[in-house]
Structure 1
């Protein structure tokens, strides 16, 4: 499943992901995935000139969410602030997903979050 910022906004992206995962992946913590989608897409919107691409891949044993933008610099991890200025998004994503990683290239970066089906520690990512 692929969602692009040219055709949708953050709210619509969440809805598409929710409907897709409810159909194909009942075991995943849907609330956690949607929170991570919101945080990663919001970061791309806010810090990467607004253009992003969201890809969700699923199989019987894993869910992978990739949010790609055109800025090759890795995100800055900063302390969360209670004044509303942010700093919490990546920490929230890190706590909600089984894994969170940053993949960079000269064309941009991808924030990748994954969830493995409970009891399937041997699940691999393709």
Structure 2
């Protein structure tokens, strides 16, 4: 999914529809919250253009949001005045893993959820 063709709400709806068919075991609320936070961060801090990829397998769900800014995100304290700082912390708490992958072309925020019965499975 690409920011040129969709917005945060459409991204959430598409992810929900896909995962409802492909991975009923995943915590849908957590996944959708992470999608919202990562896409919103890309819109706010990375010139607004992003790509969303979702991979659903029997033992894992992976969500990736990529943008063209190679700098890793800044982890800052959350503030109660509405100025932000909570998104990455929320994503980190909702997903089993949250990674930042950087390259000269940009960065990818990767969140993963492992099937509860498969926590000992190695993932790459």
Give the TM-score, by structure 2 length.
0.98
The runs of 5 or more residues in structure 2 that have no matched partner are none
Query: How big is each residue's C-alpha offset from its partner over 1:55-110, in whole Å with a ceiling of 9 and x where there is no partner?
Result: 00011000000000000000000000000000000000000000000000000000
The whole-number CA distance in structure 1 between the counterparts of 2:7 and 2:122 is 31
The runs of 5 or more residues in structure 1 that have no matched partner are none
Aligned residue in 2 for 1:103: 101
The whole-number CA distance in structure 2 between the counterparts of 1:59 and 1:30 is 15
Aligned residue in 2 for 1:36: 34
Q: Secondary structure at the match of 2:17?
A: helix
1:18-97 equivalences under 5 Å are 18-97=16-95
Give the TM-score, by structure 1 length.
0.96
Displacement of 1:121 after TM fit?
A: 1.9
Q: Could you say what the CA RMSD is over the residues aligned between the two structures, in angstroms?
A: 0.8
The whole-number CA distance in structure 2 between the counterparts of 1:110 and 1:87 is 19
The whole-number CA distance in structure 2 between the counterparts of 1:7 and 1:22 is 22
Aligned residue in 2 for 1:114: 112
